[in-house]
Structure 1
């Protein structure tokens, strides 16, 4: 679908009752751009007029406009992603959460998460945001191997991620997550296992691990194209996944989504909402939202975002209405990736027949009225979905 010029008015829509409802806030600021990253982020040199305080004012207006048009249920989860939300500091993150509270009602026991980079956190930061009501922190660790961090253009020291996780727990956070990347050129099995061991020993209750993807337009892609680095090898990625999954299982962290492991009760409820049919308002530059059958996305650049909101206009770049076929495809795609599995009653007759072949291949296993990926099936999750959908 071609992107139209903003402003674009969203159609009328209301959240469906009985489904999780969340608020996602995209914080677009980073000090430096990591070589592998293609997220909608901006360094200070790339921003003309929008600083964090001006961005916060624009965000306040978006939340006000969103609340005015929605009969929203209580918010079950809030998630600050980026970018580097921790660059805002404790005071601004407190202000941001209070802005959400000002315009939406938080459900009792709401999960409130912020992503953070280890180099922009310190004990007082964690104490401030815990006191403000944040309940969960997700820290970008990537690796403890210096050469891997250097290849990824990460600026934190190898031990800083674990130290930051412990500072967060000392400040009262029960739920702390570390993110790993595996398959970086030059990484060894030992590099990965040392990173996994460090994450386990830190005491966190959640770990995410993602295979490195070389995204077009990134510095990493240019280095691979020039032959300076080798592209990740699929067989190596599969082997690394098996290594980390085995070690995490031994340590009591169980997979609940293909790329996510947790101790009991440590699952990220906000992300489960994405995967299991929840709805959310996406606020901030480039943020995506999904309510009813409408998906939309905001204009990307913080300056354009702020300009539209200065005119009390929602900063929507475009939207799409999902029909029955698209909704079914997404349900199969997302629920197949979950440990709870794909409900059989959501498949048509032809898909059930194809599912029998996938089960015979050892990629899915029946579990009551659901189909769950086997360990080998998790390595081939995308192929499983393609086979099921035909």
Structure 2
């Protein structure tokens, strides 16, 4: 599929369930520097040169929002928006006024559902009290801040630059601006990271007073600067046993502080702190991805946008949707993807989500202590959910069930 293809016609997404949540993901492709571990669709000013600018991106994103609403309206599936998530890249680089302006566009084109969750990722170094106040007054309800680590040595390996204590200050500024829901991102398993490095990071996270923590094992992606350094022998690769130990350290410390896991890598102090937008992904929901390289899923139709901001903006300016490719998922595709994502949730999955053969293999995982049986008293009925031991091997548990 090429640029200019209208997914409302070419993919013809079937009418979606109007009772199911609908989200908008807005991708901001700009970063001030490129982190050594990052393989996201992001660009620094030097990489883009004069090809495009944040102004071009903002204009194009506004056009895509309007076209998306029109496509879904014509196919009879125009929903209210339950969640908005602004990611990147570094959304805070474009400024609060731009983010609020695009949220207003979404509200005007689709309409925000009552109680909609609206999140933006932010780099602590490009935020301020005024930034958070403008966002809160403009309708944002949730902030996600990238901390990664408090260790200067670890941050240097990741090519991250934080003023000491700045992530915690940013949390306090967001709370003072009226945000009840604030997340801190943590990365563990960086080559050379020590147990006490992570311990100090977790203490700082707990002391910051957030209600949500996303803790991710570092994945060394091919083609990144970090992968090249490891390949040259400049840094050691982290072994699986160490990653398992680090995850247990994260889980134990956060549990003592009153957090509980609701997805393998995500912890919250209560259900009100769950990221509803991400739950939509994990439960196989529908969303429209706006921006360069953003992916969308509507009722079994999936497509993705042109990746380069200049090509993306040119397609939007021409009045086209900037689609670069797409596919219609089969029932088997949707079945496999649901098990791969939803079984990572603490709530697990009901028996009806599995075939008879898969249920038999899941029972084997129960016998191995990696899954537990959900009872009839569970709101979702009988089914399976990960045990504490199963969380360490979640990907393997899924593979063994699906074979």
Tell me the TM-score normalised to structure 1 length: 0.98
SS at match of 2:85: strand
* Among candidates 91, 104, 110, match of residue 110 of structure 2: 104
Cα offset, 1:18, TM superposition: 1.5
SS at match of 1:241: helix
* Among candidates 92, 96, 99, match of residue 93 of structure 1: 99
Partner of 1:210: 216
> 4+ runs of 1 displaced by more than 6 Å?
none
Is contact 1:85-1:116 (8 Å) kept?
A: yes
Is contact 1:19-1:277 (8 Å) kept?
A: no
Mapped partners of 1:223, 1:213: distance in 2: 14
Cα offset, 1:5, TM superposition: 3.7
* Among candidates 311, 325, 340, match of residue 318 of structure 1: 325
C-alpha deviations, 1:315-358, integer Å up to 9, x for none?
Answer: 00000100011111011111110010011121111111111111
C-alpha deviations, 1:155-202, integer Å up to 9, x for none?
Answer: 112311111111101110000000000000121111111111111111
C-alpha deviations, 1:127-164, integer Å up to 9, x for none?
Answer: 11111010000000000011000000001123111111
Mapped partners of 1:62, 1:158: distance in 2: 39
Mapped partners of 1:16, 1:280: distance in 2: 12
- Aligned: 1:12 with 2:12: yes
RMSD: 1.0
Is contact 2:2-2:323 (8 Å) kept?
A: no
SS at match of 2:34: coil
Cα offset, 1:360, TM superposition: 0.7
Partner of 2:390: 377
Mapped partners of 2:359, 2:191: distance in 1: 40
Report 1:190-209 matches (<5 A): 190-209=196-215
Cα offset, 1:287, TM superposition: 0.2
Mapped partners of 1:310, 1:27: distance in 2: 17
- Aligned: 1:387 with 2:387: no
Mapped partners of 2:226, 2:253: distance in 1: 29
Report 1:1-390 matches (<5 A): 4-10=1-7, 11-13=11-13, 14-47=15-48, 48-71=50-73, 72-264=78-270, 265-368=272-375, 369-390=382-403
Mapped partners of 1:315, 1:151: distance in 2: 36
Ranges in structure 2 where 5+ consecutive residues have no aligned partner:
376-381
Mapped partners of 1:162, 1:206: distance in 2: 14
C-alpha deviations, 1:23-75, integer Å up to 9, x for none?
Answer: 00000000000000000000001113321111111111101111111132211
Ranges in structure 1 where 5+ consecutive residues have no aligned partner:
none
C-alpha deviations, 1:70-89, integer Å up to 9, x for none?
Answer: 13221100000000000011
Cα offset, 1:370, TM superposition: 2.0
Mapped partners of 2:4, 2:172: distance in 1: 44
SS at match of 1:184: coil
Mapped partners of 2:383, 2:205: distance in 1: 32
Q: How many residues are paired up? A: 387
C-alpha deviations, 1:248-300, integer Å up to 9, x for none?
Answer: 11111100000000011100000001011210000000000000110110000
Cα offset, 1:15, TM superposition: 3.0
Is contact 1:143-1:158 (8 Å) kept?
A: no
C-alpha deviations, 1:201-244, integer Å up to 9, x for none?
Answer: 11000000000010011100110010001112110000000011
Mapped partners of 2:214, 2:383: distance in 1: 24
